[in-house]
Structure 1
């Protein structure tokens, strides 16, 4: 099973072929336009299931299946947490819970970015377990921006998830330390000298044991299309 997150920096319809060359089973795309605006080329693979969330038709959160997987939003979904979407994924060897993330809520005075994730992992506490759970997307956060007196900074989110048996696949696979990542996922203004790691995939311990590979896109190729590069995660679990 291959799951990819890529903040496409809008106009996904013009860039879909590029990311679909990697043949994802599930694709999470922050800054994606509404499905009504997705007009793909004739040869572009079409998703078999789609979810989209947002208030700006040009810039929301898209979740796509390109195989047997099917999506159902959990009844506990809280639209005030923008945007962390709890989804049951079925159709594979086993069902699992996917939290598709684009942390971006400028209307919340408590905090627009990592605060949304912090609130979500408490609101969805009983749905985030040490079995069959994935949280993936653009968290818009990193330990380097921790504010020690603010409840729910990035380090607190990581600590809380680890207490629940959920870990970052990138940090485990590459033996990296939070805040000292060697592979950036975002280049501010697409400048090579402004690199940050903002995009993550956290998984429960049972899925971590099935981890096969983690790939982070390179600057030279991907910044022609976006200020973010993709995070590509492959498990030794087949989609059917």
Structure 2
């Protein structure tokens, strides 16, 4: 399901939202975080290619926001990956070999965790092409997540730089490497793909509009949560429209749970 920039969800009791968003080279207009947190009521925000969060959020907006995010800068780029939680305790986790490309946090005592989990390991990924291809990089990242989280539940979201959902059209092929990663997330990590689960029977929606190719549908941004949350998943939307096009070459993906 897609939604325009003008779509604003209504505050609802007992609703939780997770979003992932690649901001493009730091997020030049610095409105991305505010739009997601204030206007779209996101409780858990995973960002990639984000400038330092205090350039996006100010103390008058969130007096304690320095305690509400973890962020790692990618070397020599001025931007990196981040995790924001509206409340709760965040314990920063480094992902070896992925500084600035992936960041983790153990989150406890957040109100959005109600009846879902007492604590959870959360990871925001921007897959690099540093290890002989994106698939190899994502598999290496998943190896590290397994080492870090063990048998604990995890949330993984971000820009995988490969296809994270399956096409309905048989003429549109997905590489065996991408399919293997989809299977690994589902089987080894017991995660569900929020967009695919919430939108059965729909063709994949575009989450990336490369500046040199805005027509081809790339669906490389996704949110993966424990399969046990399936009954709570209400929707998963790709936010789109001209206003979003001006902010980044990626579109945010937002999953809502009741």
Residue in structure 2 matched with residue 155 of structure 1 by the alignment: 179
8 Å Cα contact 1:12-1:32 kept in structure 2 = no
Residue in structure 1 matched with residue 92 of structure 2 by the alignment: 73
Pick aligned residue for 1:185 from 188, 201, 207: 207
Task: Within 5 Å, give how 1:187-226 maps onto structure 2.
Answer: 187-189=209-211, 192-226=214-248
CA distance in 2, matches of 1:145, 1:79: 32
Q: TM-score, normalised by structure 2?
A: 0.74
1:13–1:117 CA distance, 2 compared to 1 (3 A): same
TM superposition outliers: structure 1 runs of 4+ over 4 Å? 39-46, 143-148
1:58–1:172 CA distance, 2 compared to 1 (3 A): same
CA distance in 1, matches of 2:34, 2:97: 32
Residue in structure 2 matched with residue 170 of structure 1 by the alignment: 195
* Partner SS state of residue 196, structure 2: helix
Task: Within 5 Å, give how 1:117-128 maps onto structure 2.
Answer: 117-125=138-146, 127=149
Offset at residue 169 of structure 1 (A):
0.8
CA distance in 2, matches of 1:45, 1:114: 37
CA distance in 1, matches of 2:53, 2:207: 25
CA distance in 2, matches of 1:98, 1:132: 9
CA distance in 1, matches of 2:103, 2:82: 10
Structure (1 or 2) with the greater strand fraction: 2
CA distance in 1, matches of 2:144, 2:56: 36
User: Is 1:28 aligned with 2:46?
Assistant: yes
CA distance in 2, matches of 1:231, 1:89: 21
8 Å Cα contact 1:103-1:140 kept in structure 2 = yes
Pick aligned residue for 1:114 from 131, 135, 151: 135
8 Å Cα contact 1:50-1:62 kept in structure 2 = yes
Output the aligned Cα RMSD.
2.7
Aligned residues: 221
CA distance in 2, matches of 1:201, 1:39: 22
CA distance in 1, matches of 2:82, 2:104: 13
Task: Within 5 Å, give how 1:21-100 maps onto structure 2.
Answer: 21-35=39-53, 38=55, 40=57, 44-45=61-62, 47=65, 48-53=67-72, 54-56=74-76, 58-66=78-86, 68-74=87-93, 77-81=94-98, 83-92=101-110, 93=114, 94-100=118-124
8 Å Cα contact 1:169-1:202 kept in structure 2 = yes
* Partner SS state of residue 23, structure 2: coil
Offset at residue 3 of structure 1 (A):
1.2
Offset at residue 57 of structure 1 (A):
5.2
1:14–1:134 CA distance, 2 compared to 1 (3 A): same
**Unaligned regions of 5+ residues in structure 2, if any?**
1-15, 165-171
User: Is 1:135 aligned with 2:153?
Assistant: no
8 Å Cα contact 2:130-2:137 kept in structure 1 = no
Q: TM-score, normalised by structure 1?
A: 0.79
CA distance in 2, matches of 1:52, 1:215: 25
